[in-house]
Amino acid sequence: MSHMLCLMRHVKDSISNRSCCLRVARPGISRTGAKFAAEAIIVKPKRVALYTRVSTGEQNADLQSNELTEYAAFRKWEIIDTYSDKMSGAKDKRPALDRLMADAKRGRFDVVAVWRFDRFARSTSHLLRALEEFAALGIDFVSLKESIDTSTPTGKMIFTVLAAVAELERSTIRERVIAGQRAAKRRGVRFGRPTVEVDTALVGNLRSKGLSWRDIAERTGVPKDTCIRASERGAL
């Protein structure tokens, strides 16, 4: 019996020690696994496109490009290209900006960084359209001087506010246009194309002589379709 009790105690102690060893070993395995997982995960740096603009050829964009380059290095971003325009921001067509938007659709970069909003967009509506297109393409937008980054909650909130303001502006303009049209109609103003006076006698005479509608239009200076519609209404 004493030998049996000693054996049972030995087995119990062995099981307990083994359990302790397993409990101690698990954290070690977890740390090792985490280490290997961390080494296996390679975080690729974001690809960024820098955009600069100056109004005239005499101005220099070095200040913008230098600060944007430093910011990209701070964020550990890979600079894909720098797009630079030298022209007024009011221009609808800007070669570098057009190239940037085309490259965005090709997926060349993940972030667009500008020095300031007014260097990029000519108006709030233009900015909003660009931001909406970037959002649809999964591209973040950063404005350095305004400290706006659409990848952050604050940046997303500002984007939402801008969208709301732009929508309010569009609604206000639409209401004003409709109100103006109603007021003009009450004053007797007619909208649409001006009424074209057709000399039905002359057109009928030319038609009776076998002239084509094209020839009649050239003779009278009245569009061919207008002459045909007048004829179909029985005016001729």
Cα 188 to Cα 211: distance, rounded to the nearest angstrom: 39
**82 in a structural domain:** yes
First to last CA, the chain: 132
Q: Which domain holds residue 214?
A: 200-232
**182 in a structural domain:** no
DSSP symbol at 45: P
For the domain that residue 126 is a member of, what is the CATH number?
3.40.50.1390
pLDDT at residue 28 greater than cutoff 90: no
Q: Using DSSP, state whether 222 is helix, strand or coil.
A: coil
**162 in a structural domain:** no
**5 in a structural domain:** no
Kindly list the distances between the CA atom of residue 190 and the CA atoms of 38, 41, 114, 186, in Å, as whole numbers in the listed order: 73, 69, 47, 10
The pLDDT assigned to 31 comes to: 53
**31 in a structural domain:** no
Total structural domains within the chain: 2
What are the pLDDT digits (tens) for 93-107? Answer: 789 999 999 999 999
The pLDDT assigned to 89 comes to: 72
Comparing 85-94, 176-185, 189-198, which segment has the lowest mean pLDDT? 189-198
The pLDDT assigned to 12 comes to: 37
Average pLDDT over residues 180-209: 77
Name the average pLDDT for the chain: 77
Backbone phi and psi for residue 212, each to the nearest 5 degrees, phi listed first: -75, 165
Count other C-beta atoms under 10 Å from residue 99's C-beta: 14
Comparing 50-59, 99-108, 190-199, which segment has the lowest mean pLDDT? 190-199
Tokens of 75: 């964020």
**135 in a structural domain:** yes
Provide the H-helix boundaries in the chain.
Answer: 2-40, 62-74, 95-105, 117-120, 124-137, 153-186, 200-208, 213-220, 224-232
Cα 54 to Cα 50: distance, rounded to the nearest angstrom: 14
pLDDT at residue 8 greater than cutoff 70: no
Task: Single out the residue in 119, 152, 185 at which a domain terminates.
Answer: 152
In the annotation, is 55 catalytic? yes
Catalytic residue among 55, 123, 171, 212, which? 55
Identify whether residues 139 and 65 lie together within a single domain.
Answer: yes
Task: Single out the residue in 91, 119, 152 at which a domain terminates.
Answer: 152
Backbone phi and psi for residue 11, each to the nearest 5 degrees, phi listed first: -65, -40
**189 in a structural domain:** no
Closest CA to 97 of 128, 57, 130, 136: 130
Closest CA to 134 of 51, 76, 36, 202: 51
Residues 113-126 as b/e (b if ≥16 CB within 10 A, e otherwise) read bbbeeebbbeeeee
Closest CA to 219 of 232, 233, 206: 206
Cα 131 to Cα 81: distance, rounded to the nearest angstrom: 19
The pLDDT assigned to 71 comes to: 95
The answer to whether 97 and 88 have CB atoms below 8 angstroms apart is no
> pTM of the predicted model, to two decimals?
0.56
**186 in a structural domain:** no
